[in-house]
Every structure is written in C-alpha cells, then in structure tokens.
Amino acid sequence: MKNINSIFFSKYTRVLINGNECIVGNIAFDGRWIKMSHSLYKDLVQKSQNNISLLSEKEKKYINAFREVGICIDNAEKDELQLYPSDITIEITTQCNLACKHCSYSFGGKKYREMPIDMIKAISKWSEDNKVKRILLTGGEPFCRKDIVDVCKVIKQNFTGSLEIITNGTLVTDEYIELIMRYIHALHISLDGYDENSVSMIRGKGVYNKVIALINKLKMCGYERITLSCVSVGDDNSEIIKFKELSERLHIKPVIRQLNIKGRAEENFAEDPMELRIMHNLTEKGLTFKCLCNHQYRSIFINTYGIVFSCAALREEELGIGSFIVSEHKIHIDGLFAKPIVDKIAPCQNCNVRYFCADTCISRNNVIYSNNKKRVERCHIKKNKLEKIVWHTDNDL
C-alpha cells in the first residue's frame, strides 16, 4: 500500500450513521461511498492518528478504498482548494430585452448595471496571465450593451484564449454577425422551445423566428460553432425530444438545462418537472454522495460589481467567494469551502441520508432546502426510498 505512514482524512469527508453501520464518502469529490461497521470506521480513524503500522490486511483494504474515493488523501495540502479556473464567465450587463418566464434573476426590468470596461480589460489580462482557456460573456443579454464591439475588441487585445457569448439571439444585427465571425469562437443561443408557440410561451412572440433566421444567416456565412439550449419546463420529455429534433435539423448541438425555481421562475412555475421525474425514479445507480459542485473551481463567474462566484447560478451576494480588484489586477478569495445546506438546517442535520438527498448544485439546494414546503415535499418523496437503497442494500466492501 502506497505511503501507509501518511494518512489524512479529507475535510470533505462525511459520515452517515444508522445503528451499527455507517456510510463514508467525500461530499465534494467522486460521489462514491463506502458502507461499513461504525466501530471499524472509528478504529481506522484512531489508528490513522496513532500507530497505523498496526493496521490489519482488512483495514488496509479499507484505507486503499478510502484513498480511491477521496475519503483519505496522502497529503493534507491536496485538500486545499486552489483557484485555477479554465473558464471565466463575465456578467457584462444585467440589462435584457426579454422577460423570460423561467428567468432565475428576473432580468428584463428598467434598472440594470453594466460592468465597467476597465474591469473587463483587467479580467482579460488576468485570464491571459493565469492560463484561462475560455471567457464567456453573459448577462442579462450581452448584445444590449451599445459598446459590445469595443468589449470584444478589448478582450481579444488582451486574451488569446476562446471568447464566447451566451445570448438570446434577438439583437444580433448584420454588424454583430461581422463581430461574431471575427472575434467569437462560439455562440451559445438560449431558445427554450421547438417552435413559435412553445418559445413564445416562455420568451415572447417573434423570438423563435428571429433565432432561426440568425442561425441560418450565420451558417450561410460559414459560421458553425453554435449551440442551442432549452430549459426543461414540461411534465414529460416530449418537449425535450422535439427540441432535440429541431437541433438535429439545424445541425446544431443541443444543450438541456434544468429549471431553477427562483426569481421570475418562482412566479410562474410551482415545481421543477425534471426534478420530480428524478425523485420518483430513484435507483442506486443514479445516487451520489457528492453535494458540493465544482470542487476545484475550474470555472468561475464574475458579476458586474466584480464579485466572484463559483458559477453563474450563484449570483446572490452572500454566496460570493471573493472579488476582482481592478487596481491590483487580481482576484481576492475570501473562502472556497462551502458547507452543504443539509448540514446547516435543523430538520436535515441528523438525517441519515441527507447527502444523497441533496443536489450537487449549491444554488438548487438553497432554493429547495430554504423553502420549508419544498423541503418537506422532497423529504416525503425521497427519504424512505433512499433509506431502502443505501441502508438495506448490500453495497459495502
């Protein structure tokens, strides 16, 4: 066994207890778990802190398995999260020309904010210096900025990686097509439907035809690096199947996103149909112990104020992990480790399946577990099923 004299338990290791049994796993890495006797686990922890040379062959087998799934690590420094992002998403504006029913942040109002261009330039330079591979521009709607051409030019003057834009596609004029052809490596268009009727219900009338016309025009110009995304809002998979069929006809890669019920989405949707389908069809194969996403923070999001988040789904100020300081051309990180919400709230703290119940998305967990009604409904559907799968199935070593 490798480095048997150096055993560290990850700070992301968690233990669930059920009588004489326990389940051990890493909530931020891998997702697999190990079921064993609680007394054996306590012995392993004690011996790892004292004389690990006394480990039996059976105990060594467990330590090897612990290493494999991230419960144990060979070096405590490996457990420290470092900020080495390969992708940076920049919120260049909160202005939007649409008011989509499923928008998690209720964009589309009269009040908005734009990121100063000197901050955009500084982030571009930082990205180049720190070997970032891709910058994505998002909003709001990026093409609401009257200086979007200057924004793209400034970025490409200071950054040699891929520059991409997330857009609703309705404001892209011929001038902007020239911009896309010259500077933009990929265009990610949000459509959320498969025809005029389905799209107009979410995004408004005329959006579908504008997007299809834009895609055809880009393709006529030889531009092929386009993705088309759709948020699942229906009670079954029929709308997703039709959306994929549309994408296939357009020869474009489809991207399916899960509904996050907050912001304007909370006003228009009572529940997430995709999540309901998942909860009602639980199997051991689909379970994960992981309930913290983006463990190494390979992708970060910076809002118009320069606040840094671990992803674009986390835009609430209290969820920020740091800030970008323009004068220093540097990101200051306040704290990378996020404690899962199921360890914070009283009804869930002592639940013996809480990490399996939680989503890997921090934003979705905040929406679900901060709402007592949603939390109770989730518990009613999932808890008994989860207990049967994880505690009454022979899945130990």
CB 214 within 8 A of CB 228: no
Q: pLDDT digit string (tens) for 331-343?
A: 888 766 668 999 9
SS3 content of the chain, % helix, strand, coil (to 5): 40, 20, 40
pLDDT: which is higher, 361 or 156: 156
Looking at residues 241-247, what average pLDDT do you find?
96
Q: Kindly provide the residue ranges of all beta strands, DSSP E only, lying in the chain, ordered along the sequence.
A: 8-9, 13-18, 21-26, 33-37, 72-73, 87-91, 134-138, 162-167, 186-190, 226-232, 253-258, 299-302, 307-309, 322-325, 330-333
How is residue 106 annotated by DSSP? -
Burial class (CB in 10 A: 0-12, 13-18, 19+), 276: middle
At a CB cut-off of 8 Å and minimum separation 6, what does 23 contact? 15, 16, 33, 34, 35, 289, 390, 391
C-alpha 39 chain-centroid distance: 36
Give dist(CA 388, CA 34) in Å, integer: 16
Q: What average pLDDT score do residues 288-296 get?
A: 76
Mean pLDDT of the chain: 89
Query: Which residue's structure tokens are 């118009």?
Result: 304
Answer whether CATH 3.40.50.410 is correct for domain 87-282+292-326.
no
**Is the per-residue pLDDT at 395 higher than 80?**
no
Please check whether residue 170 is in contact with residue 210, taking contact to mean a CB–CB distance below 8 angstroms. Answer: yes
How far, rounded to the nearest angstrom, does the alpha carbon of residue 388 sit from its chain's CA centroid? 29
pLDDT, one tens digit per residue, over 122-168 is 999 999 999 999 999 999 999 999 999 999 999 999 999 999 999 99
In sequence order, the 6+-apart residues with CB closer than 8 A to the CB of 274 are: 232, 258, 259
pLDDT tens, residue by residue, 2-28: 444 557 888 889 999 999 999 999 998
CATH class as words, domain 1-79:
alpha beta
- A 10 A CB-CB count for 383 gives 16
| Domain parsing of the chain, residue ranges | 1-79, 87-282+292-326
> Tens of pLDDT along 169-212?
999 999 999 999 999 999 999 999 999 999 999 999 999 999 99
